[in-house]
Structure 1
Amino acid sequence: MATDSVSGFELLQDAPFVALQVDSDGTIVAWNAAAEAVFGVTSDDAVGRPIGVIVPVPGGDDAWRALLAEGRAARRVWATPREGRQVVTCDWTLRPLSGGGAVFYGQPAPLTVDTQQHVRDVLLRALLDNVEILAWVADMSGTALLFDGIGLARSGFTPEMLIGQNLLAAFGEKYPAVPEAFKGQAVRYFTREGEASYDNWAVPVRDGQGRQIAVAGVALDITESRRREEELQDKLDVIERQQRAMREMSTPIIEVWDRVICLPIVGLVDTARAADVMDNLLQAITRTRARFAILDLTGVDVVDTSTASHLLSLIRAVRLLGAEGVLTGVHPNIAQTIVTLGVDLTMLHVRATLRDALKYVLAELERR
């Protein structure tokens, strides 16, 4: 490598275009700031490595060697993929050096309209061939111009069955959202064809002057996701039924005497369970025409203030139905919680044990 070539390349370090220097074997010996920015590779990582590795192009190292052999002013336009970034297309120009090797100048080229269209075509083809979708296009009369996509097979239709048919006449009444797209409104709707389910979009297509010239639609096959949702919902329904059965089992209502019912409560009582207790007990009072309802809290150690308030509300609700509520088995912790509520307890019937409560109730029945 000639000394003058290195010092000369230093003038290109801040150039607004890509510049890189290689020796006669194609190994990078210099790499400017623009090259770092365009290809995402630092000078330390690039220098000393083959140019075909750092700047891969169609044809690989052989393509770079062929360009190097052509001599002064040789040019190529190559697209280079970049890891995690968009492909960059550069217009490369060669300048041989007297001491051997050369400097390559690269000018990143913007995507042309043709290139952009090609990229869109490639993307559309990849989606239609690999994703479970069905795409269609219809003119403003409703005549189908295109049906494509691997999702078409599951629907039971073929392009020959649909292209040339009037979609508004065939599906307008069945899918009322479709005509809205012909009126200029983008719509989304769900359909079911046989065993297949689809999530659909229909959007207006406009020309350069903003006039609607067609309608394009995409149907995404959601059969599997819908099936999983239904299976999950079935499992949730089973869990809900099991929980409801467990709540009913955990709050058994026993008719211990004529017009006397007893509800033994065991375990933790939270707000949700207290609401179930109220609902079940009030229905039982109405059904049995009970005069007394005994709530046995022997199996409950602790309740919070919210739950204690629910229990007191339950006693008041029992009185509104013409019955009397009796609390038994109140633990000291529960008593302290009820007292902190600051409510009037004069109308609350409390007995130490279930046996005492039954004695009280039977005596009241006999007296009345």
Structure 2
Amino acid sequence: MSSFHEVIRKNESSILAGWIAEMASTTRRSDLMGDVELKQQATEFLRLFTDAAESSTDPHSEAFFSTREYMKEIAKSRMEQGFTPGETALFVLSLKQPVFNSLRDALKSEPAKLVTEIWDVGNILDRLAVQTVDGATEFRDQVIVRQQEEMLELSTPVVKLWDGVLALPLIGTLDSARTQVVMESLLSAIVETNSQIAIIDITGVPTVDTLVAQHLIKTITAARLMGADCYLSGIRPAIAQTIVHLGIDLVDIQTKAKLADAFALAQTRLGKTVVNVKSAAKSTSKHEDA
């Protein structure tokens, strides 16, 4: 069993001071973390690391469980503060130099043992640094996924145009993941507002291929199953030609070139008529005069 943990424990204060000095000259980010927090993290990690090293030199062992868990916390907090995974790993790696210095002073008369101790402690710190990078990367990926989901929700707003009429303006390309969000948002809005008509506007969709058309048809079919008529607006000449060329069947789907046209159709479907108030007033006045 290596005994470097004994050297670390005996020289804990000097190693901690050397470690903080090492970070100050290489990896210090005073714009992201204050001196007090940095010292707290370094002190706690050094304590956990030394305790674990008394029982094992395998960083994957049960003895290092608390050390690994603490590094996960550090990785998460540092990623939230703006550190990169590499900068977080250097927090661990910068401990090497002060530990090596203490080992050199303690074992200068035993070169063979010095090499062994340096190898053992360096190997553990290297592996812990890799685990730290993995933890930071995993947390970053989780944040990215969450942000993508939030962006999907924000990019599929369901707008209430009128009592009983909803509009879903789509911008960008439709894929399977976004189609699921679109469908869930539209169906939820239909239930919440008890709407009879939903208009899907694809003016902002750059191209419509077979896959996009299938996604649209699925969404329209789902809306119909909820008891709402579904219209498709924003059919530009280029998209119309593409749909015909691909042989996509939209015969059973009511389509319009503009959202305004689809809205007018919805008003007719609901038995309502939009009139010009001034024109109607003039007509009423002439009728009364007559």
**Structure 1 length-normalised TM:** 0.41
**RMSD over equivalenced CA pairs, Å:** 3.5
Query: CA–CA distance in 1 between the matches of 2:244 and 2:162?
Result: 31
Give the corresponding residue for 1:356.
261
Q: 1:155 Cα shift?
A: 5.2
State the alpha-carbon separation in 2 of the partners of residues 153 and 317 from structure 1: 56
* Partner SS state of residue 170, structure 2: strand
Tell me whether 303-312 or 335-344 shows the greater mean CA deviation.
Answer: 335-344
Aligned position for 2:150: 245
CA pair 220-358 structure 1, distance change in 2 beyond 3 A: same
- 1:324 corresponds, among 205, 211, 229, to 229
Q: 2:67 aligns with which of 192, 195, 216?
A: 195
Letter in 2 for 1:294: I
Alignment of 1:1-368 (within 5 A): 154=49, 156=51, 192-196=64-68, 222-340=127-245, 342=247, 344-366=249-271
Is the alpha carbon distance of 1:158 and 1:280 closer, same or farther for their aligned partners in structure 2, counting shifts above 3 Å?
closer
Does the C-alpha gap of structure 1 residues 220 and 363 become closer, same or farther in structure 2, counting only changes over 3 Å?
same
* 1:350 positional shift: 1.0
Contact 2:195–2:228 (8 Å) recurs in 1: yes
Percent identity over the alignment? 36
How many residues of Structure 1 are paired with residues of Structure 2 in the alignment?
A: 176
Cα distance 1:268–1:157, how it changes in 2: closer, same or farther (>3 A)? closer
Distance 1:192 1:153, change over 3 A: closer
SS in structure 1 at match of 2:195: coil
- Distance in 2 separating the partners of 1:288 and 1:365: 15
Contact 2:233 2:256 (8 Å CA) reproduced: yes
Q: 2: distance between equivalents of 1:228 and 1:317?
A: 44
CA offsets 1:181-238 (integer angstroms, 9 cap, x no match): xxxxxxx9766443246xxxxxxxxxxxxxxxxxxxxx96743333222221221122
Displacement after TM superposition at 1:278 (Å)? 2.1
Q: Is the 8 A contact 1:155 1:194 kept in 2?
A: no
Cα deviation, 1:286-325, whole Å, max 9, x if unaligned, reads 2222211101111223122111111112111111111111
Alpha-carbon distance in structure 2 between the residues aligned to 1:153 and 1:259 = 63
Higher strand share: 1
Alpha-carbon contact 2:200-2:231 (below 8 Å) kept: yes
Per-residue CA deviations over 1:88-120 (Å, capped at 9, x if unaligned) read: xxxxxxxxxxxxxxxxxxxxxxxxxxxxxxxxx
- Tell me what 2:81 maps to: none
CA drift at 1:264: 0.9
Please say if residues 236 and 257 of structure 2, whose CA atoms lie closer than 8 Å, have aligned partners that are also in contact: no
Q: State the distance in 2 between where 1:154 and 1:333 align.
A: 65
TM-score by length of 2: 0.51
The residue type equivalent to 1:319 in the other structure is: R
Provide the residue aligned with 1:116 in structure 2. Answer: none
Q: Matches of 1:324 and 1:157 in 2, distance apart?
A: 66
How far apart are 1:153 and its partner, in Å?
8.0
Higher helix share: 2
What is the CA–CA distance in structure 1 between the aligned matches of 2:212 and 2:53, rounded to whole Å?
63
SS, match of residue 345 in structure 1:
coil
Larger Rg belongs to: 1
Looking at structure 1, the residues matched to 205 and 234 of structure 2 have their Cα atoms a distance apart, in angstroms, of: 8
Q: Which amino acid aligns with 2:212?
A: T
